[in-house]
Amino acid sequence: MTGRAGEAFETGRAVSDVEALLVAPVPTAGPTAGGTDVEGDPATGEWTATSGAGFRIVPLWESEDLVGVYGPEWNEAEEAAEEQLARLVAELDRRWGAHRRVSMRVPLFRKQAGAPMPALFQALCDADCYGDLTVWGPLSAVPRWIAVSVNQSDGDAPMIMTAVVSDRPIAELDDQPST
């Protein structure tokens, strides 16, 4: 699924990846109006990044496939992924101060209804990244917002931890899209 398949989770590496994302340039425009650019590993084609106007999304870690994993073993895999995210969040809180949560509930419902949403949330939904976002920002002299999350796209898929950088605020969406 991602270019991070098979890598062990290491908090220090994840922090370094997030910090690198914070200072790297973000696109000023998408390839098409409101569009995104999905990048893949040249050898495997696995997802390595999604970029759009003002943001970039990257995978930080991917668990083993959960095909045939049920009950307590599945719960343990989910708990392990959440614990890894908690370690990353604790370290980023230590560096940047308290985070805030941004729910992905509204983007999920908008995606199901075919309703419009900001490009960042559309890109997260298109990549099946429905985990609630843990957000910091604005950070740095050039205002940037960082978010991390972990989720699973379906019952057999691996858990995927992602990071987002945006040059615009990452805020909770209203239940009703503006017209």
* DSSP-derived secondary structure for 22-77: HHS---SS-SSTT-EEEEE-TTT--EEEEEETTEEEEEEEE----TT--HHHHHHH
Look at residue 154 and tell me whether its pLDDT is greater than 80. Answer: no
pTM: 0.91
Higher-pLDDT residue of 158, 100: 100
Percent of residues, the chain, with pLDDT higher than 90:
65
Q: How high is the pLDDT of residue 33? A: 41
Count CA within 13 A, CB hemisphere, residue 86: 6
How high is the pLDDT of residue 98? 97
Helix (H) or strand (E) holding 124: helix 119-126
Greater confidence (175 vs 56) lies with 56
Separation between Cα atoms, residue 37 and residue 140, nearest integer Å:
25
Predicted confidence (pLDDT) at residue 112 exceeds the cutoff of 60: yes
Give me 54's structure tokens.
């003002």
Backbone angles phi, psi at 167, to 5 degrees: -90, 10
> What is the C-alpha separation between 83 and 66, in angstroms, rounded?
17
The whole-number pLDDT of residue 64 equals 87
Round to whole Å and give the CA distance between 152 and 67: 12
Q: How far apart are CA 14 and CA 115, in angstroms?
A: 33
Work out the average pLDDT over 54-69: 90
Identify the H or E element spanning 144. Answer: strand 144-152
Q: Are strands 47-52 and 36-40 parallel, antiparallel or unpaired?
A: antiparallel
Residue 70: its pLDDT value, please? Answer: 84
How far, in Å, CA of 146 to CA of 26, rounded?
12
Quote the CA–CA distance of 1 and 4 in Å, as a whole number: 8
pLDDT band at residue 32 under the 50/70/90 scheme: very low
